[in-house]
């Protein structure tokens, strides 16, 4: 089971991600980001303890609680405390299943709105797809290659962080991209609750569930995904 708060703190500790905190809703000037980044490195040391790899650290409740307290204390020292705490809550409450399902549903959205859709399931009515296309167009899409930035960073700290997951050197970048995809779909689904009627939402939800089941070979959906109900960000 992924500890998403660990992932967030490790991300914020890196040099390669420092210019892009706005992607997860944290807006601080360069000097403030540098201070918090360096403070996060101290928390990373607490997370890692004496382990040589991230996979070998303690995942005990005691260690995780201590990590949370340390990170919360850092947030209180910045003027972006609310945004950092909100980001911490969003990451902490993410589950592996929500990440996988959100990532898949975001990909299915791209397929649904493309001209080369090839799934066998009957697609939602064109009126629904037109609304989705408009809402999707409003969303922010980053074109930053985080994997490349992570893998090519030459800073001593970033090399150290890569070595913590030697079998997956772009682990943090991959988790970030998956998180952003899952978050993008959740935001889209939230907006659709206000743009479509109940019958349309049910039709769209049914399509996502059946198509995702065919794609994943099992039932899969984000925990917040419920036809006809509004959702809030995790």
SS3 for 111-142, per residue? HHHCCCCCCCCCCCCHHHHHHHHHHHHHCCCC
Last residue of a domain, one of 65, 93, 121: 93
Same domain, yes or no: 179 and 148 = yes
Number of compact structural domains in the chain = 2
Tell me: pLDDT of 232 over 80. no
Same domain, yes or no: 2 and 58 = yes
Q: Bin 121: left if φ > 0, else alpha if -120 < ψ < 50, else beta.
A: beta
Last residue of a domain, one of 93, 113, 128: 93
Same domain, yes or no: 115 and 218 = yes
Place of tokens 């994997």: 147
Burial (Cβ within 10 Å: 0-12, 13-18, ≥19) of residue 38: exposed
Same domain, yes or no: 44 and 84 = yes
* Closest to 7 in 3D by CA, of 95, 122, 79, 117: 95
pLDDT digits (tens, 9 = 90+) for 144-187: 999 999 999 999 999 999 999 999 999 999 999 999 999 999 99
Domain that holds residue 40: 1-93
Q: What confidence tier does 234 reach under pLDDT thresholds 50, 70, 90?
A: very low
Distances (CA, A) of 94 to 72, 84, 87, 121, 167: 18, 15, 11, 29, 24
User: From CA 123, how far away is CA 207, in angstroms rounded?
Assistant: 7
Q: What's the pTM value of the predicted model, to 2 decimals? A: 0.90
Last residue of a domain, one of 33, 68, 93: 93
């Amino acid at each position: 089971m992924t500890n998403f708060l660990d992932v967030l703190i490790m991300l914020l500790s890196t040099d390669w991600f420092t210019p892009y905190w706005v992607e997860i809703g944290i807006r601080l000037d360069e000097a403030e980001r540098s201070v918090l980044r360096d403070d996060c490195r101290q928390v990373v040391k607490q997370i890692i303890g004496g382990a040589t790899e991230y996979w070998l650290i303690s995942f005990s409740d005691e260690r995780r609680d201590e990590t949370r307290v340390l990170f919360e204390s850092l947030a209180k020292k910045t003027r972006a405390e609310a945004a950092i705490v909100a980001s911490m809550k969003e990451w902490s409450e993410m589950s592996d299943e929500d990440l996988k399902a959100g990532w898949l549903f975001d990909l299915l959205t791209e397929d649904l709105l493309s001209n080369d859709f090839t799934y066998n399931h009957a697609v939602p009515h064109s009126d629904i797809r037109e609304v989705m296309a408009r809402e999707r167009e409003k969303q922010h899409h980053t074109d930053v290659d985080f994997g490349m930035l992570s893998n090519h960073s030459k800073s001593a700290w970033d090399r150290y962080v890569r070595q913590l997951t030697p079998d997956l050197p772009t682990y943090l970048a991959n988790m970030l991209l998956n998180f952003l995809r899952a978050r993008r779909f959740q935001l889209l689904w939230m907006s659709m609750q206000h743009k479509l009627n109940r019958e349309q939402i049910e039709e769209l939800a049914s399509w996502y569930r059946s198509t995702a089941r065919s794609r994943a070979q099992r039932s899969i959906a984000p925990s917040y995904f419920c036809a006809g109900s509004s959702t809030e960000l995790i």
